[in-house]
Amino acid sequence: MSSDTILLAGVIGHPITHSKSPILHGHWLKRYGIKGHYIPMDVSSVNLPHVLNNLPKMGFRGVNITIPHKENVLDIADVISDRAALIGAANTLTFQSDGKLHADNTDGFGFIANLKQEAPGWDPKAGPALVLGAGGASRAIVAALLHEQVPEIILTNRTRARADALKAHFGGKIKVVDWTQAASHLDEATTLVNTTSLGMTGKEDLKFNLDALTPKTLVTDIVYNPLITPLLAQAQDRGCFTVDGLGMLLHQAAPGFERWFGRAPQVDAELRRAVLE
């Protein structure tokens, strides 16, 4: 690669204006003095295959994929990582030098990296994890927790059938409980994870009874707007260690940045401030 090459990457979704990815990748590009650009692109499902076929010809090294394309993109990819195949979705695409499209999922990596950075004393093997929600984010987080050897995952979702489908996919360490009964399992859990959008600004509140929550449970929420969700605020009031969801967003971006721009980026307080501004 010549020294005057301008490296290109971006993020594809529909819509895309809400994405924080251009801010965080832009921060890294500036910090490391890399000649490159990270571009948000609003692409419909109909146009997605055509766009992905043409981006490499325009000099792009890869793209992040967000809603609603994370599942569909696996039908377009040439090479799919084990974790993307296990989760059934991809968020990080790399255009390889051999012309093939490589699809990966770094959401679970980002979730675990955030917990390890913000709660270094967290021991995934210490006890069960209670996971709220059974959507796409939940699939990535359940896969990551199982990889970290959490002994059991107590899974609940407002629509039970979706939770049952995750158990069928991931197997024996998943125990599905009804949403109305899930709070009674709080005293068993050493980790509590909200993978739903409930509690996010503009969404419904997360109505979940925390009376049985004890300080032994680490509580984390993948929602980061607001940064301290009602769930995290209530958990803090009960003496729990809490981890907000912003770090998951930041850490999931790092593998793609390294692949496309050739530098392993740091996730630190400076990056958090840049994304929150």
Among all residues, which ones are annotated catalytic? 70
Residue 219 β-bridge partners: 192, 242
CB 38 within 8 A of CB 25: yes
Task: Cite the DSSP H helix spans in the chain.
Answer: 21-31, 48-54, 82-87, 107-118, 136-147, 160-170, 230-237, 246-261, 269-276
Residue 177 is given by DSSP the state: -
CB 60 within 8 A of CB 222: no
CB 90 within 8 A of CB 143: no
* Distance (Å, whole) CA 36 – CA 32: 11
* Distance (Å, whole) CA 127 – CA 150: 7
CB 110 within 8 A of CB 253: yes
